[in-house]
Structure 1
Amino acid sequence: MRRFTEGETVVRRDVFRGKVWSAHAFEAVEDAPEALVTAGRPGAEVLASTTWFQWLLTGDANVRLRALPDLAGGTWELGRWSWRDTALLQWVPPKAWFSVYAFHDASSEAGLTHWYVNFQRPMRRTAIGFDTFDLLVDLVVAPDLSRWDWKDEDEYAHGRRLGVVSETDHRAVRSAREEAVALIESRSGPFAAVDGWTAWRPDARRDAPVLPDDVLTAGLTGTA
């Protein structure tokens, strides 16, 4: 099994029906049996659907609505982007149907702005990082873990109608929701080290990570 050393580039790819939906270059922080921890920063190279870029640039909700039909139909186009505004830590346990992000405002010393639980298919390691698939629903958590709110429930429901989120996915996410909330309530997993994650900053001496030339083909299989 591929293990990553500190500072090495780790590429997270979201793969749908054997095709890359997005790719994001991160840096390895720690690769331990309980979880792979990576760091993201402004300037990191990203590949994503061009409809996502258009929505970010325009704020037009109608543009965002086109992303799911494009995904369901396999008709999306990828464009390149540089990550902006936030620095983050990503905690990815090996078999879980979710990952946990700790977001920081890269323009200030304010520290941790919020936690984010991203529900996704379990990661499959590759030579360049790992593959997964974002299952659309998310959980946004206050920095001090005092409250949390579900996000994009409507998008998740639409994804189910379009077949982007399968019944197998849905059953797994239902259990994963309970598991993620239990981690927050018990302050375990990444939430056990709130102070350390709050104080973290990306290493300014390192260049932002870039995607490898074979990002669309390396170790790609029929599924995420």
Structure 2
Amino acid sequence: MTAPVFQPGQTVVRREIMRGEPWIAIPQVCVQDDGDLLVTYTPGGTPMVYPETGVFPVGEHPWKLSGSTHWRGHGRLELHWAGVEHSLFLFWAGPGRAFQGWYFNLEDAPRRTPVGFDTLDHELDVWWGADAETYEFKDVPEFEETGPARYPGRMDQIRAEGDRIARLLDAGELWWDKAWADWTPDPAWQPREIPAGWASVPFEAR
């Protein structure tokens, strides 16, 4: 089956697949898609949806356990590259919608589905604040604690991706367009609803 290419404004469902089960789904908006770079946006108020049933060998999604049901704030922009084991998140805050910084979210490379794409957050992250001189690693203790159960046999691979990002940043290499920091969403883009049957869409487990 040919991987779908999405059109601007189309709903794109981001699913996380944990140990062979859907774990969470977020209906996002396609900003652009050329088949290699997929850019999506999560408007404030977007529902965060969790499966009704499952074995959940590592427990249900932490956001569900904390009672999170909707995305808050100005929304989140995500840049996903085919075959790349991280995405880049952009955030804004405050009444002036000030850019907050670059968030390198280590996760499975996107696997496209008929309704969007599948991935899995690896918990380990690299954050470079808009006004900071350099980056910092985030959630290292959490990754070391939960990783062996969540990503068995993949810990070294995930650490290596974090190190690769750090080396590129240290070398001053940019693999994204910094103009995204000035991006603003189409005001007509409202939060999307999750399509029926989202959890039963076939997926490729890792």
| TM-score normalised to structure 1 length | 0.78
The residue number in structure 1 matching 2:202 is 219
3-state SS of 2:48 partner: strand
Distance 1:183-1:34 versus aligned 2 partners, 3 A rule: farther
CA RMSD, 1 decimal: 2.4
Displacement of 1:92: 0.8
Change (3 A) 1:76 1:29: same
* Structure 2: stretches of 5+ with no match in the other structure: none
Q: 2:125 touches 2:162 (CA, 8 Å); kept in 1?
A: no
- 1:121 equivalent in structure 2: 108
Residues 70-128 of structure 1: per-residue CA shift (max 9 Å, x gap): 95x254276772211132210111111111101112x4224311211111122210011
Partner-residue secondary structure (3-state), 1:203: coil
Q: Secondary structure at the match of 1:174?
A: helix
Change (3 A) 1:28 1:116: same
Listed as ranges, the gaps of 5+ residues in structure 1 are 51-69
Size of the aligned set, in residue pairs, is 197
2:43–2:189 Cα contact (<8 Å) kept? no
Percent of aligned positions that are identical: 23
Determine if contact 1:97/1:172 at 8 Å carries over to the other structure: no
Task: Please say if 1:210 is aligned against 2:197.
Answer: no
Judging changes above 3 Å, is the alpha-carbon distance between structure 1 residues 33 and 87 closer, same or farther for their aligned structure 2 residues? same
Deviations 1:166-192 (A, max 9, x none): 22x2222122113322443434222xx
1:165 to 135, 151, 156: 151
Q: 1:188 aligns with which of 165, 169, 174?
A: 174
From 164, 189, 203, give the equivalent of 1:179: 164
- The ranges of structure 1 where at least 4 consecutive aligned residues each deviate by more than 6 angstroms after the TM superposition are none
Aligned residue for 1:99, secondary structure, equals strand
Match of 1:46 among 45, 48, 64: 48
2:12 alignment partner in structure 1: 10
Alignment CA distance shift 1:102-1:183 (3 Å): farther
| Alpha-carbon distance in 2 for matches of 1:218, 1:111 | 37
